[in-house]
């Protein structure tokens, strides 16, 4: 890996095996439900990125600095402390949707949810679609 490549890369690991291996039963059920939701909303097959991120779609970016690479278009990771949901290039434009979502926290491109029961998954589906539309305005999104 060159120093300019992303640390997180797509792998050949099985998404189904990864999901089945999530230890906590509620987190595992939530992760399986998220997989179903992301597949339905995006129409993309999931791919493991690194050891713990499930990605749907991908995009190639080139920054003004010349740095370029590939990354997942959207996805999630069932972390021990919360579900991390990734919307690229971030949540800055989606405050109205976030206000309707339910209990969550945000980072720049991460949405943290303790459990799916805390949020409205219909609003999450809207957020995923809006994120993909926003990303496609910057870089073309390709299926996985």
Give the mean pLDDT of the chain: 93
Q: What residue segments make up the domains of the chain, in order of their start?
A: 15-139
The predicted model scores a pTM of: 0.93
Residue 96: its pLDDT value, please? 96
Average pLDDT over residues 67-79: 94
CATH architecture of 15-139: Alpha-Beta Complex (3.90)
Written as six digits, the tokens of 118 are 């805390």
Do 56 and 72 contact (CB within 8 A), yes or no?
Answer: yes
1-5, 11-15, 65-69: range with lowest mean pLDDT: 1-5
pLDDT tens-place string over residues 74-129:
999 999 999 999 998 888 889 999 999 999 999 888 999 999 999 999 999 999 99
Closest to 115 (Cα-Cα) out of 21, 28, 20: 28
- Please check the confidence at residue 1 and state whether its pLDDT lies above 60: no
Residue 4 is predicted with a pLDDT of 60
pLDDT value of position 73: 97
Q: pLDDT tens digits for 129-139?
A: 999 999 999 99
DSSP classification of residue 132: H
DSSP per-residue letters across 42-87: H-PPEEEETTTEEEEEEEEEE-TTS-EEEEEEEEEEE-SS-EEEEE
């Amino acid at each position: 890996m060159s120093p300019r490549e992303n640390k997180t890369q797509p792998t050949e690991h099985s998404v189904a095996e990864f999901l089945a291996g999530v230890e906590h039963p509620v987190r595992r059920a939530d992760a399986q439900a998220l997989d179903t939701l992301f597949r339905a909303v995006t129409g993309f097959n999931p791919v493991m990125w690194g050891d713990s991120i499930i990605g749907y779609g991908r995009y190639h970016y080139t920054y003004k600095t010349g740095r370029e690479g590939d990354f997942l278009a959207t996805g999630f990771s069932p972390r021990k402390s919360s579900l991390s949901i990734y919307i690229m290039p971030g949540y800055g434009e989606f405050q109205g949707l976030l206000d309707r979502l339910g209990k969550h926290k945000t980072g720049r491109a991460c949405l943290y949810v303790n459990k799916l029961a805390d949020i409205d998954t219909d609003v999450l589906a809207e957020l995923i679609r809006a994120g993909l539309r926003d990303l496609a305005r910057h870089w073309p999104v390709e299926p996985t």
